[in-house]
Chain A
């Protein structure tokens, strides 16, 4: 059919001029998808992790800081609190379990985290390549250690590590008892990947062997027996002890943070939406710039008997094909980039985008459809008159 030939050739002829706008549109579509993907993934990860612990206790500081550090290792470690506090809290009748976490030791700059298997479960840490059997996150003995994914290149399970007190230790700060690597943790994308996790009981023994009398830790995760006692326990913890404490509900704090994250996300979405709009405008101007030259063609084609609707389809098909092409390559670009993102920020992989996130895309596409219709409609009107 010669109409198809005309369509194809005309598309080919104008392809050079429209490449930029197609690329820009594809880019903005991919950007929209990637941004909402990251947003969704981070949200669902945060929701999962924060559901593991009902309360977090630490020395007085910013609530957001405490939550971000204890769950995602964002920011500096909070000041230490004493071990006695942990024991008192763990003994409360409302508390199902409490997980003490200490991050005061280091090995060659890598943070050493002393905690329990509970903590690892709460953060949903998984172990790859471990010695022994079971789920893998159980410490086999007091001197076992799990290393973060980023250390896996340098160390092997079975090797020993020496740890030291503080982060710029002198030789006298180095503990004599080494720990033995039991397994490698799966990548999380947080700075936990460059951590060494050891059992806190073991850590206390090693400290004692080194002559450190006072046991300290940085924060405590708490799971309650009943969630309805949440606020009661929070109040209790703040008042009963004679040391001032920060007691936060991570779900609430993350909700507040989520508000900012949503705002930020919307800004990014709006930005990529604007890129999309600009590329559609570019597309439109390209189309209208060719309009005068199009008119001549239309007059000629009308003379040989091409009907107005055929001409309208011709003019509609061109931008529609371009937009469809941009859409497809945008989606492909998004799929490819999430593959890369997945290896960069592991929490980002494998989530399904919810429908609301696709609304931006849909509205962009509808606008594109309008942009495509406008010149087709003008051509239709013009060819009706010739």
Chain B
């Protein structure tokens, strides 16, 4: 790890027109740290993760991700950063519906030589690494991964999305509600796997959830409701 800080936020502000979604005075996440972002619906968890990915632009403040200044980063370096160094789990997991589950998991390896290389180094072939990951998510029969992704249950699809984010040893894993569609047993396995994999590879893990309890093992817990000081909170649903 060359960067000591995986994420450094200073006075980050993001808004559309008058409506402010994010205002985070200060947040630093060290490389290799596992962080759990907790907060109610609409507290800005997804928005923060998407900002870290460069998927949404912020209005002011400073944001450094893995040593890159996200304000100045060019299109192609952002592309490389995402493909090589970040594993992302969308809140609605998002698989390519007409590709097989297997291809969906391997997708990052097809477009990043680095992640393909890491996956092969870990388990001989990228395919074997995919099977290793999926086994850990208590999906016992990996031979059945050839169906189209859309034909699996929500929980199964989420497992593929997690495996996709973890394959090829990314430097940072951003997981947006990675266990939202899981049963109790699955939830534990998911958080366990995310933490294990990230600790083993030294990757930074940022994981969001609105679960209050049953989540342990993270290095740090951050409450999004207090962290995000966005003025405009009319959309926020108090629980």
Contact = CB atoms under 8 A, between A and B. Distances in A.
A302 interface: yes
Contacts of A9: 98-99
Contacts of B82: 302-305
Given A5-B103, A296-B94, A297-B96, A303 B75 contact: no
Interface string A131-172: 000000000000000000000000000000000000000000
Interface in A257-314: 296-297, 299-308
A304 B97 contact: no
Contacts of A302: 79, 82
Interface string A177-193: 00000000000000000
A19 interface: no
Nearest to B164: A304
Given A304-B112, A305-B80, A305-B82, A12 B98 contact: yes
B84 interface: yes
Contact of A304 (B55, B75, B98, B111): B111
Contact of A299 (B55, B75, B111): B55
Contacts of A306: 111
B98 A305 contact: no
Contacts of B110: 2, 304
Contact of A6 (B53, B86, B99, B112): B99
Nearest to A301: B96
B198 to A, nearest CB: 18
B103 A386 contact: no
Chain B interface size, as a band, is 20 to 34
B108 A304 contact: yes
A13 interface: yes
Interface string B95-106: 111110001000
Nearest to B80: A305
B58 interface: no
A10 B96 CA distance: 9
A384 interface: yes
A299 B90 CA distance: 10
Contacts of B55: 299, 303, 386
A299 B96 CA distance: 11
B150 to A, nearest CB: 9
B145 interface: no
Contacts of A10: 98
B21 interface: no
Main SS at interface, chain B? helix
Contact of A384 (B53, B75, B97, B98): B75
Contacts of A301: 96, 107
A382 to B, nearest CB: 12
Given A304-B112, A305-B82, A5 B99 contact: yes
A304 B99 contact: no
Given A9-B98, A10-B98, A299-B55, A304 B103 contact: no
A384 B96 CA distance: 20
Contacts of B103: 2, 5
A298 B219 CA distance: 34
Q: Which of A299, A300, A301 has the largest number of chain B CB atoms within 10 A?
A: A300
Interface in A186-208: none
A9 B103 CA distance: 12
Nearest to B95: A300
B111 A300 contact: no
B84 to A, nearest CB: 7
Contact of B83 (A296, A297, A304): A304
B83 A300 contact: no
B88 interface: yes
B206 to A, nearest CB: 15
B97 A13 contact: yes
Contacts of B112: 304-305
A328 to B, nearest CB: 24
Interface string A305-341: 1111000000000000000000000000000000000
Interface string B202-227: 00000000000000000000000000
Contacts of B75: 308, 384
A314 to B, nearest CB: 11
Most chain B CB within a 10 A radius of its CB, from A2, A10, A12, A307: A2
17 contacts: A2-B111, A6-B96, A6-B98, A9-B98, A13-B98, A296-B94, A300-B94, A300-B95, A302-B79, A304-B83, A304-B111, A305-B79, A305-B83, A305-B84, A305-B112, A384-B75, A386-B55
Interface of A: 2, 5-6, 9-10, 12-13, 296-297, 299-308, 384, 386
Given A299-B55, A305-B83, 4 more contacts: A297-B94, A300-B90, A301-B107, A304-B83
